[in-house]
C-alpha cells in the first residue's frame, strides 16, 4: 500500500535504525515545503515516540534538521578548540574556517577560557565579526589547577569520568559541530560532526570517540597515514592549512641577500632543532670558509619567557668570533615577512634523526611562507615537507647531515640555480594560499549543508 506523504514523513521521523535514502527524503522535504500545515498536527506524537526510542538528542536533531531544511532559520555551527585562548597554528586554522563560513552559518566559537573576538582578529588578521564566543568550563581541570590554562587530554585520569563531556553536551546545540583540536574524547551529539586532525597525537584510549564523527579532515597525507595507523579510521577530506605570506616574485628576487633563514618556535624541548642548525652552520663555515664567505644564519621564532632552550642557544652565540648567526625572537608578522623576502635559503630540520612521528613536521607552514617569498627551502625529507617541496624544482630535500652539506655547498656555488629554484618555490607556494583554503572549506561545507537540507545535490 502506498503511503501518503504525511505517513512517509511520520515514518521518516520514527524509523529505526536507518535514515531514509536521500532521494525519498528530498521528496518528503519538497512536500513539506509545499504543505507545511499538514505536518504540525502529528509532529508531537512522532517526536515523543522518537525521544522514547532513541533518546532526547535524536528528537532534537530531527527538529533542527526540519527547521534548517524548511528555511525557518540559518544553520548553526559550533567550532571547538581547547586552546583557542592561545596563539597557535591550529587555532589560526580554526579561525580561518570560521571566517570562511560565517556568511553561511551562525558560528559559535567554543573555548575554555575567556578570549575576545577582537583578540582573535588581531592575532590572525581575520574578520570574525559575525561569530560569537561561548566559554564552556571544564571543572576537572579547574579543580586540579593543571597546567596554567592548558586543557590537555593527556592529563585525564582514565579511571574516572570523561571530563570533556561538558563539550559533548554543548555539541548537541548545533547543526554542525566542528572539533578543531582533534580532541578524541569529545563525543559529537550534533546531527553533523566534523573533526579536524592536525596529527593524531594520542593513542586510542577508553574515551575514544573519533569513529562517531561524520567527516574527518586532515592537513597532509602524512597525517592521514598516521590517522589510519594509530586510530584505525579512514579520514575523508584533505585540506592543506592556509598560508598567507605571499609577496610579488620580482620584488622579492631584488631584495635577496646571502642569508639562510630558519623560522620555527623555540620549543623548550628543542624539537625544532635550532641548535643543530647552529652546529651545522659552524661546521660549514669552518670547513668551507671561502664558499660561505658573507653568508649569515638567522634564527627567527616565537618563544615563551625564560625558555631554557633559548638560553642554551644564546650561550653558543656568546663566544667571540663565532660565524655570523643572528637571533630574532617574537618578531611581528611584518618584520618576519621582511626576513623571508631578504633570505635566499630557508632551513627546516624538524624530523632529522627522529623516530617519533609526532616530532616530524606534520605539514610545515613556515616552509610555505618562505616559498611564497621566493626563499628556497632546504628541508628535511619527512612528514608533510615532502608534499610541499618538489626536490630540485621548488626546493631541496635532505635526509642526513652529509646530504645537507653536499646539497647546500652545491647550491651556494650556483647562484643561477638558486634563482631558478626560487621561482619554482614561489609558484608552488601559491597552491597553499588562504584563498585556496577558503574556497575548499566553503565547497566542503556547502556540500554538507546541501545533504543536511536534503536539497538537490549539485
Q: Which of 234, 235, 242, 327 is nearest to 281 (CA)?
A: 327
Helices 56-69 and 434-452 pack at an angle, to 10 degrees, of 110
Residue 360 binds to another protein (criterion: CB under 8 A): no
Residue 146 binds to another protein (criterion: CB under 8 A): no
Q: Which stretch binds another protein (CB under 8 A): 319-327, 330-338, 390-398, 418-426?
A: 319-327
> Grid coordinates representing 154?
593527556
Residue 322 CB, nearest distance to another protein (Å)? 5
Residue 153 CB, nearest distance to another protein (Å)? 14
Q: Which of 3, 16, 13 is nearest to 48 (CA)?
A: 13
Question: How far is residue 405's CA from residue 378's CA, in Å, rounded to a whole number?
Answer: 11
Phi-psi region of 190 (alpha: psi -120 to 50; beta: other; left: phi over 0): beta
Within 232-287, where are the H helices?
249-255, 274-287
Closer Cβ to another protein, 147 or 353, answer by number:
353
Angle at the Cα of 75 from the Cα atoms of 70 and 79, rounded to 5 degrees: 165
**CB of 115 closer than 8 Å to CB of 133:** yes
- 17, 294, 305, 321: residue in contact with another protein (rule CB under 8 A): 321
Q: Which of 228, 241, 277 is nearest to 379 (CA)?
A: 277
Closer Cβ to another protein, 70 or 331, answer by number:
70
**CB of 93 closer than 8 Å to CB of 69:** no
Residue 458 binds to another protein (criterion: CB under 8 A): no
Matching residue, cell 518528503? 28
Residue 296 binds to another protein (criterion: CB under 8 A): no
Question: How far is residue 16's CA from residue 62's CA, in Å, rounded to a whole number?
Answer: 13
Residue 136 binds to another protein (criterion: CB under 8 A): no
**CB of 164 closer than 8 Å to CB of 138:** yes
Residue 356 binds to another protein (criterion: CB under 8 A): yes
Residue 53 CB, nearest distance to another protein (Å)? 7
Residue 179 binds to another protein (criterion: CB under 8 A): no
Q: Which stretch binds another protein (CB under 8 A): 6-14, 156-164, 292-300, 443-451?
A: 156-164
Residue 303 binds to another protein (criterion: CB under 8 A): no
Residue 287 CB, nearest distance to another protein (Å)? 10
Question: How far is residue 99's CA from residue 120's CA, in Å, rounded to a whole number?
Answer: 11
Residue 13 binds to another protein (criterion: CB under 8 A): no
Locate the DSSP E strands across 92-239. 106-111, 131-135, 176-179, 192-197, 215-218, 237-238
Residue 256 CB, nearest distance to another protein (Å)? 28
- 15, 19, 24, 36: residue in contact with another protein (rule CB under 8 A): 36
Residue 48 CB, nearest distance to another protein (Å)? 8
**Between residue 189 and residue 228, which ones bind another protein under the rule CB under 8 A?**
189, 203, 205-207, 209
**Between residue 45 and residue 104, which ones bind another protein under the rule CB under 8 A?**
47, 51, 53-60, 63-64, 66-67, 70, 72
Residue 60 CB, nearest distance to another protein (Å)? 5
Q: For the beta carbon of residue 390, count every other beta carbon within 10 angstroms.
A: 14
Residue 133 CB, nearest distance to another protein (Å)? 21
Residue 56 CB, nearest distance to another protein (Å)? 5
- 282, 411, 430, 447: residue in contact with another protein (rule CB under 8 A): 282
Residue 172 CB, nearest distance to another protein (Å)? 8
Q: Which of 329, 389, 334, 392 is nearest to 361 (CA)?
A: 389
Question: How far is residue 278's CA from residue 325's CA, in Å, rounded to a whole number?
Answer: 8
Closer Cβ to another protein, 55 or 248, answer by number:
55
Residue 307 binds to another protein (criterion: CB under 8 A): no
Q: Which of 206, 186, 189, 205 is nearest to 197 (CA)?
A: 186
- 2, 17, 40, 234: residue in contact with another protein (rule CB under 8 A): 40
Residue 35 binds to another protein (criterion: CB under 8 A): yes
- 31, 86, 123, 316: residue in contact with another protein (rule CB under 8 A): 316
Closer Cβ to another protein, 64 or 91, answer by number:
64
- Residue 262 has, within 13 A of its CA and on its CB side, a CA count of 27
Cα Rg of the chain (Å, integer): 26
Q: Which stretch binds another protein (CB under 8 A): 36-44, 254-262, 382-390, 402-410?
A: 36-44
**CB of 444 closer than 8 Å to CB of 192:** no
How many binding residues for another protein (CB under 8 A)?
59
Residues that bind another protein (CB under 8 A): 35-40, 43-44, 47, 51, 53-60, 63-64, 66-67, 70, 72, 157-160, 162, 165, 168-169, 172, 187, 189, 203, 205-207, 209, 269-270, 275, 279, 282-283, 286, 312, 315-316, 319-323, 353-356
Amino acid at each position: 500500500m502506498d503511503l501518503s506523504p504525511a505517513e512517509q514523513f511520520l515514518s521518516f521521523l520514527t524509523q529505526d535504525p536507518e535514515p531514509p535514502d536521500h532521494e525519498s527524503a528530498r521528496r518528503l522535504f519538497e512536500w513539506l515545503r509545499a504543505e507545511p500545515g499538514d505536518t504540525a498536527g502529528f509532529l508531537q506524537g512522532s517526536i515523543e515516540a522518537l525521544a522514547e526510542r532513541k533518546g532526547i538528542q535524536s528528537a532534537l536533531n530531527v527538529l533542527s534538521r526540519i527547521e534548517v531544511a524548511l528555511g525557518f532559520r540559518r544553520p548553526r555551527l559550533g567550532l571547538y578548540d581547547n586552546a583557542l585562548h592561545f596563539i597557535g597554528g591550529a587555532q589560526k586554522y580554526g579561525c580561518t574556517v570560521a571566517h570562511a563560513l560565517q556568511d553561511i552559518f551562525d558560528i559559535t566559537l567554543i573555548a575554555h577560557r575567556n578570549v575576545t573576538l577582537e583578540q582573535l582578529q588581531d592575532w590572525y588578521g581575520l574578520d570574525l565579526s559575525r561569530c560569537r564566543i561561548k566559554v564552556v568550563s571544564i571543572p576537572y581541570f579547574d579543580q586540579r589547577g593543571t597546567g596554567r590554562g592548558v586543557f590537555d587530554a593527556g592529563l585525564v585520569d582514565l579511571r574516572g569520568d570523561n571530563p570533556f563531556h561538558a563539550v559533548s553536551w554543548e555539541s548537541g546545540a548545533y547543526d554542525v559541530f566542528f572539533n578543531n583540536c582533534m580532541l578524541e574524547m569529545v563525543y559529537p551529539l550534533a546531527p553533523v560532526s566534523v573533526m579536524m586532525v592536525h596529527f593524531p597525537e594520542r593513542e586510542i584510549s577508553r574515551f575514544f570517540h573519533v569513529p562517531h564523527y561524520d567527516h574527518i579532515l586532515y592537513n597532509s597525507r602524512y597525517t592521514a597515514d598516521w590517522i589510519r595507523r594509530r586510530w584505525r579510521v579512514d579520514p575523508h577530506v584533505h585540506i592543506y592549512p592556509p598560508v598567507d605570506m605571499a609577496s610579488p616574485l620580482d620584488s622579492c628576487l631584488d631584495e635577496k641577500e646571502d642569508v639562510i633563514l630558519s623560522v620555527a618556535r623555540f620549543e623548550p624541548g628543542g624539537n625544532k632543532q635550532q641548535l643543530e642548525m647552529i652546529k651545522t652552520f659552524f661546521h660549514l663555515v669552518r670547513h668551507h670558509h671561502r664558499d660561505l664567505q658573507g653568508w649569515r644564519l638567522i634564527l627567527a621564532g616565537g618563544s615563551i619567557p625564560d625558555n631554557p632552550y633559548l638560553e642554551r642557544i644564546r650561550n653558543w652565540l656568546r663566544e667571540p668570533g663565532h660565524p655570523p648567526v643572528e637571533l630574532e625572537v617574537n618578531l611581528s608578522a611584518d618584520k618576519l615577512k621582511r626576513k623571508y623576502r631578504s633570505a635566499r635559503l630557508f632551513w627546516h630540520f624538524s624530523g632529522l634523526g627522529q623516530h617519533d612521528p609526532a616530532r616530524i613536521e606534520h605539514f610545515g607552514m613556515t616552509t610555505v611562507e618562505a616559498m611564497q617569498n621566493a626563499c628556497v627551502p632546504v628541508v628535511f625529507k619527512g612528514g608533510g615537507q615532502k608534499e610541499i617541496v618538489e626536490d630540485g624544482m621548488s626546493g631541496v630535500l635532505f635526509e642526513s647531515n652529509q646530504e645537507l652539506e653536499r646539497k647546500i655547498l652545491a647550491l651556494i656555488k650556483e647562484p643561477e640555480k638558486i634563482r631558478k629554484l626560487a621561482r619554482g618555490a614561489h609558484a608552488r607556494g601559491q597552491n597553499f594560499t588562504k584563498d585556496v583554503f577558503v574556497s575548499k572549506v566553503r565547497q566542503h561545507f556547502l556540500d554538507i549543508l546541501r545533504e543536511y537540507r536534503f536539497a538537490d545535490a549539485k
